[in-house]
Amino acid sequence: MNHTDELTDRLIDGTLTGAEAVELHDLLADDPGARTRHLAAVRLELVLRGLRSAFDFAEPTVAKIESDRAERTTTVVMAELANLPPPGTERLPFRNRRMWLALAALTAAVLVGLWLARPAPAPAPVPTPRAHPAPDLARLTTVTGSVEIVGPGGTSVARADQTLSPDQTLRTVGEESVAVLEFADRTRVEVQSDTAVRVLPTDGADPRKVLLLEGRVTAVATGRRIVVGAGTAEVEASRGSFSLCSSGPGSVRVEPVDGDVRVVRGAPADPVIVGPGRAAFVRDEQTPVRIEASARIDSTPRDRLNFMALDAGFTPDGEVWAVSAKQWARWRPGTPDPGRIAFPPKIHNDGLASWLTPDLRAVALCRIDDKEERIVIRALPSGEERGRVPVRVSEPRFLCVGPDASWVATAGGPKSQNRHVRVWNTNTGEERFVREVNNTAYCLAASPDGKWLAVGVSDLGKGTDNAVVVFDAATGDRVFELPTRRKAVTTLAFTADCKYLAAGFNGAIQIWDVPDRKLVKTLEGFERVVTRLAFDPQGKVLAAGTQDGQVWVWSADTWNRRQVLEAGTRGVRSVAFSADGKFLVTTTNKVGVAVWEVAPEPAKAPDPDA
């Protein structure tokens, strides 16, 4: 029997002195094993003596204890017990009732401490509420939007200053959701929208480890090593920062900003150092790591208009027209803000979706100012109403308008209708036809000649047996189908001559030859959800807006990536080229309208063997 056990026996017998009580408290605080034995002995003694207490460890009591400061925890426990008459006290062989109260108070304090500290590796007798987590755990310092924690007990809403334990998954849901995890040494991991991560258990000698299940994170290392794993690779840094993107378990893209960033492909492979200005893409064992020079990155647009538009485009003479569901602006870059033009009648609430025709002569607007569900088609620049459709959509991807605005297509809606695609005559508001597809109709695009309607059909649950189905926009006949063999199709776009169709996914873009029904190119390596696609009028350049606010630009001749635009911090709503293809206009959530210069095709590096 050790000294702690001897003091425990004296406490139970009622012979413990005040100095010995202090000594016992210190021993229990420093030795978790002794604390466990002490608690077991006291519990057994209380059972043998028939002690009953109304002290409640249910949620209301725990909430009250957690809300108090640490130094008041023992006082709260003693007050709870002091208000109860100790039943059967006369039967207890204690010589001193005050000694009994000391025993009960100490026991209850230990019970509360163990209960509250249950997620921690080593339970503490009296935890400090809102204390900084252990060095190997991460604390949530920022929670924006819909952020969830998924653990053994189910799913709960995340809150700031909460500690993420190794058995929990942090998940951000939706375009506006962001969370920031921080370790004790200020190393931080910013979790972007629609991303899931876990903090893996480590001991003090190992680096901090974070597992990226899907999505995008940005890590900033400040001293101790941090390892972020995704797909078939791990990224390690002890100082500096980097971004990591993954569209699933089989691929990852690494973009260093500064510091000593290394890509590790498992134990047998040597680490690959990736410096700023370069990026590494790891897909699988066949292409373990591909390092490329970073394309031109632009974060400052040529001009900006402070207007939260849903869609925007260039007129042939270089003006930018931008629309929401209640107002629009016609603006020439390089000139002052012209102000807004409200659509009549004036409404106070904006809509959910607006879609311009390619020539900007008409716009389809989803109104939400009253209970009447409708899409209003207006002529531009007059703003006069051309027609109404008795339906509305929840997102722009579920709406498209024919190039002459003679028809509007919608998809989505109630769960019972999410497989239905409808085409409406805009001049009468009548339904032209409705077609049912075999999975969820997830995005729409009209061909520039108005003859076809392309529908991205996706199994959102689990399958990759998805496709792009093309209908005759006049009759509803199914013209052809392109099997994408990818996860959900998120956006579609035709070239102006209808020869090529681009389909966007999470981490990839497919380019299809429409007349030959043939897949000609798959662009990979950017590992982001594509929200909008656009070809320039000549079909020479492809731009892809992503969910995290970037726009990637490729040359359609060589498929070399020539430019990345940092258009905002949230999803890109629209992308459109000027008539000469030299400029891009973008709209993003919470940033507004921006005009960018399109970078020229990068010059080829000279051949050293020539």
Lowest mean pLDDT across 46-50, 55-59, 309-313, 589-593:
55-59
Does residue 68 sit in the same domain as residue 200?
no
pLDDT at 289: 81
pLDDT digits (tens, 9 = 90+) for 394-415: 788 899 999 999 999 999 755 5
pLDDT at 288: 72
Q: What letters, b where the CB count within 10 A reaches 16 and e where it falls short, cover 133-159?
A: bbebbbbbeebeeebbbbeeeeeeebe
End-to-end CA distance of the chain: 84
Lowest mean pLDDT across 104-118, 264-278, 537-551, 593-607:
104-118
- CA proximity to 551, closest of 535, 536, 530: 530
Task: Give the list of residues 6+ apart from residue 227 with CB closer than 8 angstroms, or none.
Answer: 207, 208, 209, 210, 234, 235, 236, 264
Does residue 505 sit in the same domain as residue 576?
yes
Categorize the per-residue pLDDT at 132 as very low, low, confident or very high, splitting at 50, 70 and 90: very low
Residue that terminates a domain, selected from 264, 294, 324: 294
**Residue 59, both tokens:** 């949620």
pLDDT at 46: 53
Does residue 467 sit in the same domain as residue 565?
yes
pLDDT at 11: 76
What mean pLDDT do residues 500-520 have?
A: 95
Better-predicted residue by pLDDT, 313 or 214: 313
Beta strands at 296-298 and 561-566: parallel, antiparallel or unpaired: parallel
584 domain-assigned: yes
Residue 435 sits in a domain whose CATH number is 2.130.10.10
Categorize the per-residue pLDDT at 257 as very low, low, confident or very high, splitting at 50, 70 and 90: confident
What mean pLDDT do residues 264-269 have?
A: 63
Q: What letters, b where the CB count within 10 A reaches 16 and e where it falls short, cover 387-414?
A: bbbebbbeebbbbbbbbebbbbbbbbbe
pLDDT digits (tens, 9 = 90+) for 428-451: 999 999 999 988 898 999 999 999
What mean pLDDT do residues 82-101 have?
A: 44
pLDDT at 459: 84
pLDDT at 131: 42
What mean pLDDT do residues 122-133 have?
A: 42
Does residue 206 sit in the same domain as residue 96?
no
pLDDT digits (tens, 9 = 90+) for 553-582: 999 999 988 999 988 877 899 999 999 999
pLDDT at 135: 54
Does residue 464 sit in the same domain as residue 513?
yes
- Domain total of the chain: 3
125 domain-assigned: no
Q: Does residue 544 register a pLDDT over 90?
A: yes
Q: Distance (Å, rounded) from C-alpha 170 to C-alpha 191? A: 9
Q: Distance (Å, rounded) from C-alpha 521 to C-alpha 529? A: 18
pLDDT at 118: 46
Does residue 98 sit in the same domain as residue 146?
no
Better-predicted residue by pLDDT, 254 or 352: 254
606 domain-assigned: no
pLDDT at 198: 92
349 domain-assigned: no
What is the CA angle 202-207-213, rounded to 5?
75
Does residue 185 sit in the same domain as residue 103?
no
Does residue 102 sit in the same domain as residue 158?
no
Residue that terminates a domain, selected from 294, 320, 346: 294
- CA proximity to 361, closest of 310, 305, 390, 403: 403
Better-predicted residue by pLDDT, 372 or 604: 372
Lowest mean pLDDT across 274-288, 357-371, 557-571:
274-288
pLDDT digits (tens, 9 = 90+) for 480-507: 999 998 888 999 999 999 999 999 998 8
Report field, pTM of the whole predicted structure over 0.75: no
Find the domain containing 170 and state its range. 138-294
pLDDT digits (tens, 9 = 90+) for 288-341: 788 877 678 888 999 999 999 999 999 999 999 999 988 999 999 999 999 999
SS3 45: helix
What mean pLDDT do residues 513-536 have?
A: 93
Residue 146 sits in a domain whose CATH number is 2.60.120.1440
260 domain-assigned: yes
What mean pLDDT do residues 155-180 have?
A: 89
340 domain-assigned: no
pLDDT at 108: 52
